[in-house]
Amino acid sequence: MRPGTRRRGDGLKPPAARGEKKTHEARGLGGRKVTIVGPGRLGQALGRLLAKAGVPIDLVVARRVSRARQAARFIGAGTPAALDDPRLGRAGVVLLTTTDAAIEPVAKVLATRSADWRGKVVLHTCGSLPSSVLRSLARRGAAIGSIHPFQPVPNPSTGIQTLPGCYWAIEGAAQACALGKRIVRLLKGTPFPIRPSRKVLYHASGIMVCPALLGLMSQSERLLKLAGVPARIARPMLARSVGETVANFARLGGRRALTGPAARGDWTTLRRHFAALRRALPDVVPAYAALVSAMLRLAGKRPPREFKKALRNAAA
């Protein structure tokens, strides 16, 4: 053995391992630590994914330390802290993942934790509010912005499965947008710009196709059960059908993928649907009428005058 050399296992890492560490660090945010404030479903999922991508998690902040401790355990990193913790003043990058209503008041609390926020970046994750709700932090020098995934996150565990690769709306100051894009790309996602003044329309579009779809599928499940379809197959049957419909929309677009009596202008079948729904589930009739109207517009069909009047009455 030559002088100055060591055997394996004596604490000297082989070159490959050192290279792996550098690569791991390079995958992060240039060594910048992230503080997560308001770690709900999205905050926990995002924190865990960022930690896995090599981003150091500094503080995990909630109104109660017990809640912050629970979130930090799920994330697998970060120091639990309460909102009044003075260590918040050291935060360099803050992800504000609170509820929509809490964003502005929490931002005002954060602004009191440091007199100088220059060089710091604060991003909120609300889909309907612009980054300007963080103005109290901007006045103290912070670069403010927002990032929002066009993806439902019903719980943290689902979020770590579905957030990677999804689409993210980004807006705000240039420095904040640059950092937001870097975060999204760490998650293998696709960032896109959104107009702050129109952000609420963007958010409404997501509600129409995600939570609203769940509402529609639940009503459809009720109808299937009333029709005698076994409960054990109603849900998987709906999931398969809706999955195929989504694939057709992606491939063909709405108008070409549309099927059913509204697409054909089959007024007789539609009247039978309304009659049956009034007898079985009258509470579903207004929703069905609104959907038929939307489908007719998509298909470019002009209903007869009497059907149009019946449709208006049903939707009322």
> What digits encode the pLDDT tens for the residues 21-37?
444 444 578 889 999 99
295 and 219, same domain (yes or no): no
Asked if residue 9 belongs to a domain, the reply is no
Instruction: Give the pLDDT confidence of 35-58 residue by residue, as tens digits.
Output: 999 999 999 999 999 999 999 999
What is the value of pTM for the model shown? 0.85
Report the CATH number at residue 125: 3.40.50.720
Q: Is there a domain that residue 101 lies in?
A: yes
| Pair (232, 120) in one structural domain | no
pLDDT of 151: 94
| Cα dihedral: 94, 95, 97, 98 (round 10) | 10
In this structure, the answer to whether residues 248 and 267 fall within a common structural domain is: no
Same-domain check for residues 51 and 129: yes
Same domain? 187 vs 310: no
Rounded CA separation 65/83 (Å): 9
Residues 149, 83: one domain? Answer: yes
- pLDDT > 90? residue 5: no
Q: How many CB atoms lie within 10 A of CB 5?
A: 8
Hey, what long-range contacts does 208-213 have (CB within 8 A, 24 or more apart)? 210/152, 211/152, 213/242
Tell me the average pLDDT of the chain. Answer: 91
Q: Cα separations (Å) of 212 from 168, 215, 219? A: 20, 5, 11
Dist CA 94 CA 31 (whole Å): 14
Residue 6 included in any domain: no
Asked whether residue 69 carries a pLDDT value surpassing 70, the answer given is: yes
Q: What is the pLDDT of residues 140-176, one digit of tens each?
A: 999 999 999 999 999 999 999 999 999 999 999 999 9
User: Cα separation of 48 and 78, whole Å?
Assistant: 10
Q: Is the residue at 13 inside a domain?
A: no
The answer on pLDDT for 10 being more than 90 is no
Q: Among the three residues 148, 171, 195, which one is the final residue of a domain in this structure?
A: 195
Same domain, 105 and 152: yes
**What's the average model confidence in pLDDT over 246-252?**
96
- Residue 225 falls inside a structural domain: yes
Q: What is the pLDDT of residue 4?
A: 44
Judgement on whether residues 165 and 31 belong to the same structural domain of the protein? yes
Please calculate the CA angle 290-295-300 and round it to the nearest 5 degrees: 130
Is residue 155 in a domain?
A: yes
Q: Residue 133 domain-assigned?
A: yes
| pLDDT of 14 over the 80 cut | no
Longest dimension (CA), the chain: 98
User: Which range (73-82, 124-133, 178-187, 306-315) has the least confidence?
Assistant: 306-315
In terms of domains, do 146 and 227 share one?
Answer: no
Whether residue 51 is contained in a domain is answered as yes
Same domain, 316 and 186: no
Would you state the pLDDT for residue 11?
38
**Domain encompassing residue 223:** 210-253
Block residue for tokens 């502005």: 104
Is the pLDDT confidence value at 299 over 70? yes
Whether 171 and 291 share a structural domain: no
Q: Strand (E) positions, 130-255? A: 143-149, 167-172, 190-193
**Span 191-242, pLDDT tens digits:** 999 999 999 999 999 999 999 999 999 999 999 999 999 999 999 999 999 9
* Per-residue pLDDT at 315: 80
The pLDDT, as a whole number, for residue 27 is 56
Residue written as token pair 């459809």:
220
Give how many domains the chain has, as a whole number: 3
Residues 245 and 264 placed together within one structural domain of the fold = no
Q: How far apart are CA 258 and CA 277, in angstroms?
A: 22
